[in-house]
A and B are shown apart, each in its own frame.
Chain A
Amino acid sequence: MSELEKFRETTKAWLAKNCPPEMRKPMRSEKDACWGGRNWVFQSADQKLWLERMAAKGWTAPSWPQKYGGGGLSRSEAKILQQEMNAIAARNPLHSFGIWMLGPALLEFGNEEQRLRYLPEICRGEIRWCQGYSEPNAGSDLASLATKAEDKGDHYLVNGQKVWTSYADQSDWIFCLVRTDNTGKKHYGISFLLFDMASKGVSTKPILLISGRSPFCETFFEDVKVPKENLVGERDKGWSIAKYLLTHEREMIGDYGAVKPLSEIIADNGYTPNPILRAKIAEFEIDAWAFAQTMSRMLMEAKAGVSLGAKSSMLKYYGTELNKRRYELMMDLAGHDGLEWESERSNDGHLARSWLRTKGNTIEGGTSEIQLNIISKHILQLPGA
């Protein structure tokens, strides 16, 4: 048996023993997703237990080095872990912008002190992070951000406003793009700061969305004091970190993980859809398959040492457009039932609200149009793009 096969066996056995039954059931609502943090209220004892057990193995961040609280797994091992979790329908133990976004940036740009301070508590789900990127006048044109951080000797004084800050009202800390210089080009003078959301002068206001939910906030900073050591990377050169993080985010956004195929939903419904809908579904499923194959191919290329580069924009663009198509078709299939907004039967309108949520997929993390611009410029090398 090869090392990887052995790893698969022991992983399978460990999961069978340690993943609580409750954590193998499909999530019924957004509350079933565990985000951790200082204020997190566990939905069940099993949710807490699952997080603790996985964190103890370092498997909330399987491929991070062990000294930072990760699992130290190779890409192949991490993939096996994911496959074995999928096989028993195990829930993700921890949803975390710390793991998905800040962590990779700290591993790449942070100093050792910052890594040792922040990464382990991210892995344990103790601190919940939010991302302070967009501003009212800096959306697609992110680099024109204006939130100001003034050098006050031993600290920065931050003033300004962010918007579309995911879960800012529930987060403990923020990683934030601020302007430390506005004399040069707009990409220069941006810095990457970390600070506690409990700091004096920070306030948040949730934004009510069409789904009836408020996953995003407006976030305000008024004379917020941030210690100098909370600067990541070089001052004024935070744009490269911002871009790195966006690229990372894009690779992730395109992947919606294991979702129930539409053909199974049809089987569950027990009736044959009208031929025109059937054709759209068949077309969608082939596109989804070809996209999944493309994700695998890109993963293999990355493993073989070819950097993904601007191709992450392709994955982001196509993956999010597909997800919107998926939810349109799910609504078509669900018909009247899918329109229920508040009943227990509909799990509080879960499908309808999820459908509405997907409309943001092609906007957040850089709109589809921005991704197409990036492809035009960096891959097709079209002029003036």
Chain B
Amino acid sequence: MALLLNEDEKMLQESAQGFFAEKAPVSQLRTLRDNNDEIGFSKSLWKEMAEMGFTSVLIPEEYSGVDMGFMAAGLISEEMGRNLTASPFLSSAVLAVEALKAHGNTEQKSKHLPSIGAGKTLFALAIDESNKHNPAEISLTATPSGNGFKLNGYKTMVVDGHVANHIMVIAKTDESMSVFIVPNETKGVEIERTIMADSRNAARISFDDVEVTGEQILGNVGDGDKILDTVLNAGRAILAAEMLGASSQVFEHTNTYLRERKQFGKIIGEFQALQHRASHLYCELELARSAVFSALTALDDGADNAGAIVGMAKAKLGSVAKLAALEAVQLHGGMGMTDELDIGLYLKRIRVAQELLGDSDFHLEQSARHKGY
């Protein structure tokens, strides 16, 4: 298993580091927030990400992508996490691309993949219906009607649902699950933008007798479980990578502060109580990096147990990233509570990212089940 980066990946990492630090630093998120931006991310940034090939990192070459694999996608996500970059990377370039790639028919792939890669089309994946991620409990229903189906039900926490041109909806079809591609302006689709604590966006979407044709089914009727497997693994690994970036960066801020702030006539980093907290966190972050690299590698290798490994990584990152954020606030003292510093922005993003697609408790539970207890 490759837990070290190869030369191509190192080059990509370097270019992503430079790109996001320059084009999408934390100040960009602040501006978007303070200006009550209409969509909550920068369209010109998204266009530049497309030019860099970031949006098509998982798209095969035959659909005009750069096809660099999950480790590469993870490195991009890590840098976005570091800079708290707001973009539809997860929803469109990862979740939608993986779903289309693995399960779409040729027509669907040719129609959507190049367009997503070019930064023109945005997708959102609508899975969850309640307060906690629970893909096993879907009640939005697709009932046969004429040549197609009618969708009825409700989705929440649809990341980027407020801007997506197409919603990928997980629905119940009889005993099985299926996925439908629904254009956002379809009759009966009502989208409410929800600005979240991290100043990024999701949507609550209701479906009221929404008519869809058979052609709008992704793959075949009953493919829903397979599709979920694919997209959830990808999404969770990429979120874990984002949390790795965010937590590493907030830890760096903390460490810098420990070396600068003076109290009692001393640099506070001289106090052993604080040193030990920082050192423990350092160890946790090293474990977190190993977990993320293992997950991305397992996906790239198509390992049989990739799902289990990704779940463990998401669980580990959820708890380590939270710890990094909480320690950052506490060790910054009162300053950590101010909006002036970026620490709170990291705390908020990590809170959202660890919740998305299953928090640590969810994945611990899954992992225990998988291991037979």
A residues at B contact (CB < 8 Å): 261, 263, 266-267, 272-273, 278-279, 281-283, 285-287, 289-291, 293-294, 296-297, 300-301, 304, 311, 314, 317-318, 369, 371-373, 375-376, 379-385
Contact = CB atoms under 8 A, between A and B. Distances in A.
Interface stretch (B12-20, B272-280, B346-354): B272-280
Contact of B3 (A283, A287, A300, A372): A300
B367 A286 contact: yes
Interface stretch (B127-135, B186-194, B204-212, B289-297): B289-297
Given A285-B367, A285-B371, A290 B282 contact: no
Interface residues of B, number: 39
Nearest to B309: A289
Interface string B283-327: 100111111011000000000000000001101100100000000
A372 B373 contact: no
Given A285-B368, A379-B282, A382-B269, 12 more contacts: A272-B373, A286-B316, A296-B1, A311-B286, A372-B280, A373-B275, A373-B276, A376-B269, A379-B279, A382-B258, A384-B267, A384-B269
A291 B287 contact: yes
A286 B315 contact: yes
B279 A286 contact: no
A383 B259 contact: yes
Contacts of A301: 4
B267 A383 contact: yes
A297 B3 contact: yes
A317 B1 CA distance: 25
Contact of A279 (B276, B279, B364): B364
A272 B371 CA distance: 12
A286 B287 CA distance: 10
B365 interface: yes
Given A301-B4, A373-B272, A290 B278 contact: no
B287 A317 contact: no
A314 B279 CA distance: 9
Interface in B330-372: 361, 364-365, 367-368, 371-372
A369 B280 CA distance: 10
Say what secondary structure dominates the interface of chain A.
helix
Nearest to A292: B290
Given A314-B282, A376-B275, A286 B259 contact: no
A278 B287 CA distance: 22
B121 interface: no
Contacts of B4: 297, 300-301, 304
B263 to A, nearest CB: 13
A293 B2 CA distance: 11
7 contacts: A266-B373, A282-B364, A287-B287, A314-B282, A317-B279, A318-B287, A373-B275
B270 interface: yes
Contact of A263 (B280, B283, B291, B372): B372
B220 interface: no
A290 B319 CA distance: 13
B246 to A, nearest CB: 18
Contacts of A294: 286-287, 289-290
Contact of B269 (A286, A371, A383): A383
B282 A278 contact: no
Contacts of B289: 294, 297
Nearest to B363: A286
Contacts of A281: 368, 373
A278 B366 CA distance: 12
Given A287-B287, A289-B312, A369 B373 contact: no
Given A286-B364, A290-B287, A372-B276, A278 B294 contact: no
* 7 tightest A-B CB contacts, nearest first: A384-B270, A293-B290, A376-B275, A375-B279, A263-B371, A382-B269, A297-B3
A278 to B, nearest CB: 6
A313 to B, nearest CB: 9
Contacts of A381: 259
A296 to B, nearest CB: 6
Given A281-B373, A376-B275, A314 B364 contact: no
B42 interface: no
Contacts of B312: 286, 289-290
B105 interface: no
A32 B93 CA distance: 57
B373 A376 contact: no
Contacts of A289: 291, 312
A266 B364 contact: no
Contacts of A283: 315, 319, 364
Contacts of A383: 259, 267, 269-270
Contacts of B278: 376, 380, 382
Contacts of B288: 290
B165 interface: no
B230 interface: no
A372 B275 contact: yes
Given A294-B286, A294-B290, A384-B267, A273 B373 contact: yes
